[in-house]
Amino acid sequence: MDPQPPTAPSPRAWRAAPVSALSRAGADRAALRREETDLVPRLLADAERTRVVLVRGGEVAVDADGRLDLVAPEPDAAAGRLAAFLGEDAQHAYVALLLDQPSALDPVLGADGLPAAERWPEAGRAWASLRDQGETLDDRDAGLATAAVALAAWHARHPRCPRCGEPTTPTRAGWARRCSADGSEHFPRTDPAVIMAVVDDTDRLLLGHAAHWPDRRFSTLAGFVEAGESAEGAVRREVAEETAIVVSDVEYVTSQPWPFPASLMLAYRARATTTTIEVDGTEVTDARWFTRDGLARDVASGDVLLPPPSSVARLLIEDWFGGPVG
Ligand SMILES: [Zn+2]
């Protein structure tokens, strides 16, 4: 009898990862263009093609319909203020104007000597937080706004060189800063955090209440990845620290930038191998197992308030639930 030919394992099926609100994008970041000489000033001089995303106090300007309020640049628009190239598509190039951020360590004054807040383009605009309204933006606007808010938060917190303490100045079209003393270059930092849907063998979901949250808010557990730690290790550690639950089978689901100020949320599912909850009492003051019926009932009655639709926590909860809750 002929030996059987070896059989290759069948290919693993691909599963589309759920896409969270702030993970969406439409425009091309066109990162290679950041090296072009005077890219941002040239774009700000092109009122035909360029559209400006306004960022102030961690919020973006929105129009009456809740869409990003993209404006054509006006002459002298960026005077004294930091602008960053966000990307482009067939219609437009997009520049973020970081209204809180001076382009150098100078006060934010225009050529007219007026404080920025008294000049174009702040007057009469509405501002929105991505935390609260991120899911209402379309894909293009969500991507532009998330990058703009992340850059604004980084520039605001990193005016000086971490090596020598001297001032740094923006380079690479707003995507880096260079030290004026030693020439070292510094890039926007992103802090990885894990967030996890912990499910037990009877398919109940573990949700906790953090000490600093509003009353009745319950959400998935989360925490920062520590130095020298894997994301999966952080999932196991955080769940054990906060609730004394032991998990196995840590499985990646999706990610979401969360620029408040610099997190990247890495979302996981994990299987609980124990069920007795003991909260740490400091970070997490309550935690419970929820069945689908129980969660639906508690949300309907107002006994449980879930995290906002823009959050990856909500996505994980609804991924487990099988659709929108409440
Ligand atoms: Zn330095």
CA of 160 to the centre of ligand 1 (A): 8
CA of 96 to the centre of ligand 1 (A): 26
Calculate mean pLDDT across residues 73-92: 87
CA of 172 to the centre of ligand 1 (A): 17
Task: Give residue 6's pLDDT.
Answer: 73
3-state secondary structure of 283: coil
CA of 186 to the centre of ligand 1 (A): 10
222 class by beta-carbon count within 10 Å (0-12 exposed, 13-18 middle, 19+ buried): buried
Task: Give residue 108's pLDDT.
Answer: 45
Q: Are strands 93-102 and 50-56 parallel, antiparallel or unpaired?
A: parallel
Calculate mean pLDDT across residues 162-168: 95
Euclidean distance between CA atoms 227 and 208, whole angstroms: 25
Task: Give residue 106's pLDDT.
Answer: 44
Percent of the chain at pLDDT > 70 equals: 91
Give the CA count within 13 Å in the CB-facing half-sphere of 207.
Answer: 25
Euclidean distance between CA atoms 198 and 236, whole angstroms: 10
Cβ(243)–Cβ(277) under 8 Å?
yes
Q: What is the mean pLDDT of the chain?
A: 91
Task: Give residue 5's pLDDT.
Answer: 73
* Same fold yes or no, 21-186 and 191-321: yes
Task: Give residue 113's pLDDT.
Answer: 52
CA of 169 to the centre of ligand 1 (A): 11
Q: Using the predicted structure, report yes or no on whether residue 109 has a pLDDT greater than 80.
A: no
Question: pLDDT class for 16, splitting at 50, 70, 90?
Answer: confident
Task: Give residue 30's pLDDT.
Answer: 98
Q: Using the predicted structure, report yes or no on whether residue 114 has a pLDDT greater than 60.
A: no
Q: Using the predicted structure, report yes or no on whether residue 142 has a pLDDT greater than 50.
A: yes
Question: pLDDT class for 164, splitting at 50, 70, 90?
Answer: very high
Residues with Cβ–ion distance below 5 A, ligand 1:
161, 163-164, 166, 179, 181-182
Task: Give residue 105's pLDDT.
Answer: 45
Euclidean distance between CA atoms 159 and 168, whole angstroms: 6
**Candidates 3.90.79.20, 3.40.50.300, 1.10.3720.10, 2.60.34.10; CATH matching 21-186:** 3.90.79.20
Tens digit of each residue's pLDDT (9 = 90 or more) over 224-261: 999 999 999 999 999 999 999 999 999 999 999 999 99
Task: Give residue 178's pLDDT.
Answer: 96
Domain ranges of the chain: 21-186, 191-321
CA of 104 to the centre of ligand 1 (A): 15
Question: pLDDT class for 311, splitting at 50, 70, 90?
Answer: very high
Q: Using the predicted structure, report yes or no on whether residue 321 has a pLDDT greater than 90.
A: yes
CA of 6 to the centre of ligand 1 (A): 60
Q: Which CATH class is domain 191-321?
A: alpha beta
Q: Using the predicted structure, report yes or no on whether residue 110 has a pLDDT greater than 50.
A: no
CA of 181 to the centre of ligand 1 (A): 5
Which strands form 185-186's sheet, in the order they lie side by side?
168-171, 176-179, 185-186
